[in-house]
Amino acid sequence: MTITSVDRTTARPRTDDALVLDGVRAVRGGRTIWSDGSLRVPTGAIVGVIGPNGAGKTTLFQLVLGLLPAAEGRIEVLGGSPRRGDRRIGYVPQNYRSAVSDAVRARDLVTLGLAGTRFGVRRISAADRARVDEALARVGATGYAEQRMSRLSGGQQQRVAIAQAIVDDAELLLLDEPLANLDLRHQHEVVELLGALREERPVTIMVVAHDLNPLLPVLTDAVYLLDGHPHHDRIDEVVQEDLLTHLYGTPIRVVRTPQGDLFTRGG
C-alpha cells in the first residue's frame, strides 16, 4: 500500500461527491421531518445512515431518489438534480422481504431491475440475460435463481434484492435496513458483500441501519440525523460515545477490541 492515508480535509472538487445537500428541508405530509441539511457524501464511500426511529432516514432516501422534492435548498445526486428513474441508482427498500410475493422467482425479480421499465413486447436479449446471471452470481444466488422468492430465507432474499439493485451497474446504492431481521451470520455475509462490491467498482453505498455494529467493519462515513438536522462525517468521528449517546437518547459506549475492531453497546 503506497497511500496509507488520505487527507480528508482537503476540499474535493464537486464531481467527486455522490451526494450534495445544501440547506435542504424535508417536508412530508405538511410536517418538517428535518431541516438545514448541508452535507457532502464523497464518491466511493460506504455510508451508514443512522438516527433514532422517525428521524427521517428513509425520507433522505426518498429525496435522493427524486420521490420527494426538497421543500427548501438544493440537492445534487451524482452530479445532477435528483430524478425519479435515474438508472444509476440501485435501491432496496425497507421491509423488502414482506413485500415480495409468491409469484416471482429470484431470477424474474433481478430481470425486472434491468427490463422492468420497458414497455412493449420485446424479448429479453441474451446480453441482458447474461447480466442477470452475472448479478445473481455476484451475490452468490445462482443456486436458487429459479426458486420462488417466498421460498428463500431472509438472507437469500436480501441478496437477490441487492442483485436487482446492482444488475444495471448502479453508481449509487441505497439500502434501507438491509440487515433487519437477519441472523448474525447472514448480517455478516451481507456486510461482507457490500465491502466487496465497493472494492470491485466505483460505487457509493448508503445503508440505513438502526444498529451500527454489524456494519462498522466496512463503513467509511456516516450520515447521522441529530436534533432534526442531517450531518455527515467520517465514521470514526461519528462513533463517539457522547455523539451516539446524544443521538439515540440513551447511554452508549464505544469499545475497541484488542484486534482494533470498533463496536458500540448500550449502557
Partner 1 sequence: MTPSSDGLAAVEFQTNWLQVLQTDFMQHAFLGGTMVALAAGLMGWFVITRQNAFAAHALAHIGFPGATGAILVGAPVTLGLAVFCVGGGLLIGLFGSRGADREVATGTVLAAATGLGVLFASLAAANASATTSVLFGNLLAISSGQLWVFGGFTALVVLTLAVLARPLVFASVDPAVAEARGVPVRALGIAFVVLLALTITMAVQVVGTLLLFALVVTPAAAALRLTARPAAVAGLAVVFAVLSVWIGLLLSAMVDLPPSFFVVAVATLIWVASLAATRERTRTWPTPAPADQPLVPARTS
Query: Contact residues for partner 1 (CB under 8 A)?
Result: 65, 67, 84-87, 89, 91-93, 96, 99-105, 108-109, 112-113, 115-121, 137, 139-144, 148, 153, 155-156, 159, 164, 189, 192-193, 195-196
Distance in Å, CB of 90 to partner 1, minimum? 9
Cβ-based nearer residue to partner 1, 198 or 231: 198
End-to-end C-alpha distance for the chain, whole angstroms = 38
Question: φ and ψ at 48, to 5 degrees?
Answer: -85, 130
Distance in Å, CB of 145 to partner 1, minimum? 10
Cβ-based nearer residue to partner 1, 57 or 159: 159
Distance in Å, CB of 173 to partner 1, minimum? 12
Kindly list the distances between the CA atom of residue 158 and the CA atoms of 53, 97, 139, 149, 177, in Å, as whole numbers in the listed order: 22, 7, 10, 10, 10
Distance in Å, CB of 107 to partner 1, minimum? 9
Q: Is 147 exposed, middle or buried (0-12, 13-18, 19+ CB in 10 A)?
A: middle
What CA–CA distance (Å, rounded) separates 53 from 204? 24
Distance in Å, CB of 226 to partner 1, minimum? 26
**Helix, strand, or coil (residue 169):** coil
Distance in Å, CB of 231 to partner 1, minimum? 25
HSE toward the beta carbon, residue 13, CA cutoff 13 A:
2
Cβ-based nearer residue to partner 1, 113 or 230: 113
Cβ-based nearer residue to partner 1, 6 or 121: 121
Cβ-based nearer residue to partner 1, 67 or 255: 67
Q: Which residues contact 2 (CB under 8 A, 6 or more apart)?
A: none
Percentages of the chain per state (helix, strand, coil), in multiples of 5: 35, 30, 40
Cβ-based nearer residue to partner 1, 19 or 65: 65
